[in-house]
Amino acid sequence: MQRLFSTFADGWPGGGILLLRLLAGGALINRGIAASSSGAYTGVALPIAGAAAGVLLLGGVWTPVVGVLVGIVEAWIAYTQPAMQPLAIMLAGLGISLAMIGPGAWSVDARLYGRKQLVPPEP
């Protein structure tokens, strides 16, 4: 995972990436909950898959892979459900953007795969 990004952005850029992850993840989860509580069983699988991806985006887990998955799922929703097209296109763009930008410093990915500083033990 570390090879995908030279650094994990922190400071203001990291805060912006965190905001993008929160908005995209929240919208995906909201759509999944709305689809599952609508009572219609047709077309529920994709929004629920999107909601699961939204949970991973919120935490910044496997962000490049999940971002591409969100882009594919939302592009398919935009193609098959014309009524949902504007929101689906926006979420697909956010997912692909997050896949390209990376998770940022405030993410699980940064904690797991970020650069570690090795400190020698004190004598």
The pLDDT tens digits of the residues spanning 83-122 come to 889 999 999 999 999 999 888 888 888 888 876 666 777 7
pTM: 0.83
Q: Is 26 helix (H, G, I), strand (E, B) or coil?
A: helix
Tokens in use for 55? 């949970």
* Of 58, 48, 49, the residue nearest 26 (C-alpha): 58
- Across all residues in the chain, what is the average pLDDT? 86
- Does 1 have pLDDT greater than 60? no
User: What value does the mean pLDDT take over residues 45-65?
Assistant: 92
Q: Residue 91: what pLDDT? A: 95
Residue boundaries of the structural domains of the chain: 7-109
The SS3 of residue 14 is: helix
Q: Which residue did the predictor score with more confidence, 68 or 4?
A: 68
Query: 18-21: which pairs have CB atoms within 8 A and are 24 or more residues apart?
Result: 18/60, 18/104, 18/106, 18/107, 20/94, 20/97, 20/98, 20/101, 21/57, 21/58, 21/60, 21/63, 21/98, 21/103, 21/104, 21/107
62 near 53, Cβ under 8 Å? no
CA-to-CA dists, residue 22 to 57, 60, 89, angstroms: 7, 9, 17
